[in-house]
A and B are shown apart, each in its own frame.
Chain A
């Protein structure tokens, strides 16, 4: 037997072993039902758990973000209110100062003594 013949016999043997190993096997009548039952029982649960975890995670993030934004807005509003209040106070004091000055001026004008008569007109 030549070397080539020996190789050919080996190839045929390997092929036969492979065919034997990979031959179609009937899984049985209950296999499909079992798979479907398992899908029905396990898969929704897994998906639900994943979605619930994702939703909880996003919900927590959204809640934290909302709290931070609300705090920032409240702080900003308080700052704006304080600035407005201080500006209003400054304007009020300025208004009272101007009003006081002008009332004082009017009062001095009203209460000013009449001008002294000219000495040359006194006849002295």
Chain B
């Protein structure tokens, strides 16, 4: 199975495994996402998701345990306190929302947040930033900022990502088991490549 949900699980496992190695105290509060009103007005398609702990629990109760993907998703969100997504798709290229992104980056500069991935593809006009928040060896937050010529996305996942649950997902539900680059056989997924300046 190679669906976006499976990819999400695999990549979150990788990020969580890396985050587990970065034992730094961190806050677990959700980011204050900007409204992105200008982008929303120009977007041809918008995704605006705000799921707090209670809504996540409600959503989990409606997931089909007989469906492998939904069962995996249910396990994945068990320790989460919130998922917040703002994603905008445009028919033509729009200016980069520099002010809003700067406001986000200021929040992500707080102690506990660490820049995990920072990729700039000038040729494609595509930027990707991934930040992770770690507390006592456990990842308790994730932030993703991706800007493409016709798409802009911000994701904030709040809460403890249970590494054991993620590890148990490996090799099941289509989630591949990938060997660690440093020879660690603990079962954790590999960390992403180091950030680029």
CB atoms of A96 and B4 under 8 A apart: yes
Among residues of A, the one whose C-beta sits closest to the C-beta of B76 is: A96
Residue among A85, A92, A101 with most chain B CB within 10 A: A92
Interface-facing stretch out of B51-59, B97-105, B161-169: B51-59
- Chain B residues contacting A102 (CB-CB under 8 Å) are 128, 144, 146, 153, 155
CB atoms of B7 and A100 under 8 A apart: yes
Q: How far is the CB of B180 from chain A (nearest CB, A)?
A: 15
A102 to B88, CA, bound (A): 13
- Chain B residues contacting A1 (CB-CB under 8 Å) are none
Number of interface residues of B (CB under 8 A): 42
Picked from A88, A100, A110, the residue with its CB within 8 Å of the CB of B4 is: A100
Q: Chain A interface residue count: which class? A: 20 to 34
Secondary structure class of chain A's binding surface, majority of residues: helix
- Chain B residues contacting A81 (CB-CB under 8 Å) are 58
A95 and B62 in contact, given A103-B144, A104-B11, A110-B193 (Cβ under 8 angstroms)? no
A-B contact count (CB 8 A): 113
CB atoms of B87 and A88 under 8 A apart: no
A107 within 8 A of partner (CB): yes
CB atoms of A100 and B59 under 8 A apart: no
A55 to B51, CA, bound (A): 51
Interface residues of A in 77-110 (CB under 8 A from B): 81, 84-86, 88-89, 91-107, 109-110
Q: How far is the CB of A37 from chain B (nearest CB, A)?
A: 72
Q: How far is the CB of A116 from chain B (nearest CB, A)?
A: 13
A111 within 8 A of partner (CB): yes
A88 to B63, CA, bound (A): 10
A110 to B62, CA, bound (A): 35
A97 and B5 in contact, given A92-B59, A106-B128, A110-B119 (Cβ under 8 angstroms)? yes
A39 to B121, CA, bound (A): 104
- Chain A residues contacting B196 (CB-CB under 8 Å) are 110
A109 and B126 in contact, given A92-B56, A97-B4, A104-B4 (Cβ under 8 angstroms)? yes
The 0/1 profile, CB within 8 Å of A marked 1, for residues 50-76 of chain B is: 010001101111110000000001001
A67 to B3, CA, bound (A): 48
- Chain A residues contacting B73 (CB-CB under 8 Å) are 92-93, 96
A95 to B119, CA, bound (A): 22
Picked from A84, A95, A107, the residue with its CB within 8 Å of the CB of B11 is: A107
Q: Which residues of B contact A (CB under 8 A)?
A: 3-9, 11-12, 15, 47, 49, 51, 55-56, 58-63, 73, 76-77, 83, 85, 87, 117, 119, 121, 126, 128, 130, 144, 146, 148, 153, 155, 157, 192-193, 196
Closest 10 CB pairs of A and B: A100-B8, A100-B4, A88-B59, A103-B11, A106-B128, A110-B193, A89-B62, A92-B59, A85-B62, A100-B7
